[in-house]
Amino acid sequence: MRPRLALLAIAAFAVAASAAFAAGCGGSDNSSSTAAGSTTTAAQGGGGGSSVDVRETEFKLNPSDPTVKAGQVTFNVSNDGQVVHSLEVEGPNGDQKLGSDLSPGQKGLLSVDLSKPGKYEFYCPVDSHKQMGMQGEITVQ
């Protein structure tokens, strides 16, 4: 009786562990696009912040000089290019970066606290894309 119970427990643990491993491993890349898509409406519906659409291509940000109102700003980033891109904003409280890089065609949301008026740099942190022109300046009014 006892040994059999122990075996069952071990087997159950192994199944749970491998399921968790598979979910954490294979799921991360594919699920990020759907997760980003589903949070789009939530981010825009809640809060009083503004949002900015940013398109990334090789090697520029469009727009590269957006002007926003002070507050929580959501960057609606789409990778319209042919290689992986990401986005990082040097806000008043430090750097804020997309949770995961964007494959070509992917979109992502980056919410940044830009509650202090001023000018803030933003850029693509992938490889040397910033130096190649994927940078700009956000004006917060």
CB closer to Cu ion out of 41 and 128: 128
- Regarding 54 and contact with Cu ion (CB under 5 A), the answer is no
Report residue 86 as tokens: 């990401």
Q: Using CA atoms, how far apart are residues 84 and 106, in angstroms rounded to an integer?
A: 9
Q: Contact with Cu ion (CB under 5 A): which of 89, 112, 124, 138?
A: 124
Q: Using CA atoms, how far apart are residues 135 and 55, in angstroms rounded to an integer?
A: 12
Cβ proximity of 134 and 123 under 8 Å: yes
Q: Using CA atoms, how far apart are residues 135 and 121, in angstroms rounded to an integer?
A: 7
Cβ proximity of 79 and 104 under 8 Å: yes
- Regarding 129 and contact with Cu ion (CB under 5 A), the answer is yes
For the bound state, the minimum distance from the C-beta of residue 33 to Cu ion, rounded and expressed in Å, comes to 17
For the bound state, the minimum distance from the C-beta of residue 23 to Cu ion, rounded and expressed in Å, comes to 29
**Per CB under 5 A, which region of 34-42, 45-53, 85-93, 110-118 contacts Cu ion?**
85-93
CB closer to Cu ion out of 112 and 140: 112
* Residues near Cu ion (CB under 5 A): 85, 124, 126, 129, 134
